[in-house]
Chain A
Amino acid sequence: MRADDPAIRWIEEPKLGLSGKMYLPLIFQGLTTTARHLVGPKRTVSFPEQRPNIADPLIYRGVHRLNRDQEGRVKCVACFLCATACPAHCIDIVAAESPWPDREKYPEHFVIDELRCIFCGMCEEACPVDAIELTSLFDLTGRTREEMFFDKEKLLSVFDQTKDAEPPKSAGLPPLQRPEEEHHS
C-alpha cells in the first residue's frame, strides 16, 4: 500500500505543550498512576481460601444437575433433545417406560461425561421440561476418568446440594400442561 493511498486516513496527533515536550512532567504523571495502582486494591481472588463471587448464578455454566419435581421424582422425560443438541456428544441416555402416569418415558440411565463436556449450555436450552440445568459449581475434580462420568444419581445429588442456593430456574412456572397428543405422521 502506498503512503499516498486515498484509503489511508492520517490522524493528527494531539499537540504537546512545553511541559509535554520536556518529557519529565509526563514521566512523573505516569509514575503517579503506577504508584497509585501499586498500593491500590487488588483484584486477585486467593482461590482455595476465598471463593470467587459469581455475579449471576442463573447464567453461570458450571456442573450440570438433573432437577426433581415436587414429588422428588426426576423431571426428565427422556426426550433426547439435550443429547441431540450436545455438540460434544457427552450425554448418554437410556430411556425406559415411565412407571408414572403423567409421562410416557423416563431416563433409566442418564450419564454426562463431564470431561468431554464443553459447558456450552445447549442442553439446558434444549430441554423442554427444564430438567437439566447448569449450576454455578465450577471446581469439579476427580482422580479417575470413570469418576467424571456423572450418572443419574450423582446429577440428582447435585440438585439436592444446590437447590437451596439456586432454586430451579422454572420454579415459579406452573407444571407443564400437555395438550392431548395428536400423532403426526
Chain B
Amino acid sequence: MLELAAIALVKVVILSFGLLTAAAYLVLLERRVAAWVQDRRGPNRVGIPLTSIRLFGLGQPLADGLKFIFKEEFTPSHVDRWMYTLAPISILATALAVFAVIPFGDVLTLGGERTIELVVAPGFDAGAIYVFALSSLAVYGVILGGWASNNKYSLLGGLRSSAQLIAYELPLSLGLLGVVVVTGTLRLDEVIRTQANEGIWFAFAQPLGLIVFVIASFAEAARLPFDLPEAEQELVGGYHTEYSGIRLLMYLVAEFMHMITASFLIVILFLGGWHFWGLTDAAAWGIEGEAVPLWLGVVRIVVLMAKVFVVILFFMLTRWTWPRFRFDQLMNLAWKVMLPLGIANVVMMAVVAEFEVPLTDRLGRGGVIGLTWVGTLLTLIVAALLVPLHSDNRRRSIEPDLFGTS
C-alpha cells in the first residue's frame, strides 16, 4: 500500500514538473513557430544568463517566467478578492489533475520483474469520463475569472467561453463515443492496446470521428480558430483582462495545458498512442511472451511523445492558417455541423460494432474500413450541401424599421 502511494507520488512529481516545463517551452515554440510562419526569426537571443551563449533562445521561458513572478501582484480594488484568486488556481488545478488518467507511455520494467504502468492512476475504469468531467470544470475557472473581475469585457469573455465550451463538449464526447463503442472500454491504456494489437489506428478506422474530435478539441482548448474566450483584438484579453503577474501566468499555463491534454487525447484515441508499426511491436524485435523490456518501454514513451509533439505543431500551424470564427459561425458550426457529423459517426461505428463478424466475413477487415471511408465521404458531402454558408451575413430581406432609427 505504502509502496503504491510512493510510486504514485513519484509519478505525480515527474508528471507535474514535466508538464509545467513543457508548457513553458511550448510558449517558446509557439513564439518561434509564429515568427517562422510570418518569415521572421523569433526570440533567439536569450541563452544562459550572465554569459553570451545563446542556445537558440532556450533561456526565453526562464526569462518569461521570472518576469511574471517578479511582477507586482496587483489586485484591482473593484474585484471579488476570494473568487479573483480562486479562479486561476481552479483552472490550473483541473488542467493538471486531468493527467491522472492519461498514460504517458506503456509500462517500464525495472529489475527484470517489476513493471510500472506509466499512468498516475493505473487501471481506472472510468478514465475517459474523468478526463471529460475535469476538462468541463475548466469552464468554471474561466467564468469565475470573468465574474470576479467585475468588468464587462471580462464577463463577456467568460460568457462566450462557457457557451463555446458547453457547445463543443457534445461533438467531443460523440467523437470519443465512436472509439468507446468499438473498443468497449473507457480505459485510455486499453484503447491504445486495442489499436496496437490490431495495428490499425482509429484515425484510419474512424476518419469521421477523428475530424469531429480534432475540431471539437480545438474549440475546447480555445485555440485560434475558436479562441473567442480571449479574442485579444475584441475583448482586450477576455476573462483574464484584469489579471497580471503570477495569476495571469497560471491562466496562460493552464491554457497550454489544455492544448497538451487535447493533443494527448487525439494521439491516444485516434493515432495509436505509443504504437508504431515495427518500432514498438515486441514480436517484430523477436521478443517472446508478454514481458516488455525496459528499452522497449522507453521507445514507446518516445514514440508517444513524438506523436504528441507533431499534433501540437499542427495546433500551432492551424493558428496561423485559419482566422477566428464569428460567434454565430461558431455556434452554427457546433450545432448544425459538428453535432450531426458526430451522431453520424456514432451510428456508423455502432453498425460496425454490431455487425462486425458478418461484415468482416463478407468483406474482410479492409473492406469494412473502406466502407467507413465511403460513409465518411458521403456524410461530409451531404453536410456540405445542406449547411448554408456561414460566411455570408447579408440581410436577405429588408426588415421593417421598428425603432425608426434610420
User: Roughly how many angstroms separate A165 CA and B334 CA in the complex, as a whole number?
Assistant: 63
Nearest opposing residue in chain B for A40, CB measure: B39
The answer to whether B37 and A22 touch across the interface, beta carbons within 8 angstroms, is no
The answer to whether A16 and B317 touch across the interface, beta carbons within 8 angstroms, is no
User: Roughly how many angstroms separate A18 CA and B384 CA in the complex, as a whole number?
Assistant: 7
Query: Which residues on the B side are within 8 Å of A31 (C-beta)?
Result: 317-318, 321
Number of interface residues of B (CB under 8 A): 28
Number of interface residues of A (CB under 8 A): 27
* Known contacts A3-B395, A21-B385, A27-B322; A34/B40 CB under 8 A: no
Q: How far is the CB of A153 from chain B (nearest CB, A)?
A: 35
The answer to whether A34 and B321 touch across the interface, beta carbons within 8 angstroms, is yes
Q: Is A175 in the interface zone, CB < 8 Å from B?
A: no
Query: Which residues on the A side are within 8 Å of B392 (C-beta)?
Result: 13
The answer to whether B398 and A42 touch across the interface, beta carbons within 8 angstroms, is no
The answer to whether A30 and B321 touch across the interface, beta carbons within 8 angstroms, is yes
Query: Which residues on the A side are within 8 Å of B387 (C-beta)?
Result: 21
The answer to whether A33 and B317 touch across the interface, beta carbons within 8 angstroms, is no
Q: Is B284 in the interface zone, CB < 8 Å from A?
A: no
User: Roughly how many angstroms separate A22 CA and B36 CA in the complex, as a whole number?
Assistant: 29
Interface flags, B320-362, vs A, CB<8A=1, else 0:
1110000000000000000000000000000000000000000
User: Roughly how many angstroms separate A122 CA and B387 CA in the complex, as a whole number?
Assistant: 61
Interface flags, B22-42, vs A, CB<8A=1, else 0:
000000000001011111110
The answer to whether A27 and B40 touch across the interface, beta carbons within 8 angstroms, is no
* Contact pick for B36, options A10, A42, A46, CB 8 Å: A42
Q: Is B233 in the interface zone, CB < 8 Å from A?
A: no
Nearest opposing residue in chain A for B314, CB measure: A31
The answer to whether B37 and A38 touch across the interface, beta carbons within 8 angstroms, is yes
User: Roughly how many angstroms separate A42 CA and B42 CA in the complex, as a whole number?
Assistant: 10
Query: Which residues on the A side are within 8 Å of B113 (C-beta)?
Result: none
Query: Which residues on the A side are within 8 Å of B37 (C-beta)?
Result: 34, 37-38
Interface flags, A7-34, vs B, CB<8A=1, else 0:
0001001001010011110010011011
Query: Which residues on the B side are within 8 Å of A38 (C-beta)?
Result: 33, 36-37, 317
Q: How far is the CB of B317 from chain A (nearest CB, A)?
A: 5
Query: Which residues on the A side are within 8 Å of B40 (C-beta)?
Result: 42-44
User: Roughly how many angstroms separate A66 CA and B395 CA in the complex, as a whole number?
Assistant: 65
Q: Is A101 in the interface zone, CB < 8 Å from B?
A: no
Q: How far is the CB of A93 from chain B (nearest CB, A)?
A: 43
Which of A2, A21, A39 is the most central at the interface, judged by chain B CB atoms within 10 Å of its CB?
A21
Q: Is A4 in the interface zone, CB < 8 Å from B?
A: yes
Q: Is A176 in the interface zone, CB < 8 Å from B?
A: no
Q: Is B389 in the interface zone, CB < 8 Å from A?
A: yes
* Contact pick for A37, options B36, B318, B381, B384, CB 8 Å: B36
Query: Which residues on the B side are within 8 Å of A10 (C-beta)?
Result: 394
Interface flags, B373-384, vs A, CB<8A=1, else 0:
000000011011
Q: Is B391 in the interface zone, CB < 8 Å from A?
A: yes
Q: Is B298 in the interface zone, CB < 8 Å from A?
A: no
The answer to whether A34 and B395 touch across the interface, beta carbons within 8 angstroms, is no
Q: How far is the CB of B111 from chain A (nearest CB, A)?
A: 45
Q: List 15 A-B contacts (CB under 8 A).
A: A2-B398, A13-B389, A21-B385, A22-B380, A22-B381, A27-B318, A37-B37, A37-B38, A38-B33, A38-B317, A40-B39, A41-B39, A42-B39, A44-B39, A44-B41
B-binding residues in A (CB < 8 A): 1-4, 10, 13, 16, 18, 21-24, 27, 30-31, 33-35, 37-44, 46
Query: Which 6 A-B pairs have CB atoms at the shortest separation, nearest pair first?
Result: A21-B384, A30-B321, A22-B384, A44-B41, A2-B406, A34-B321
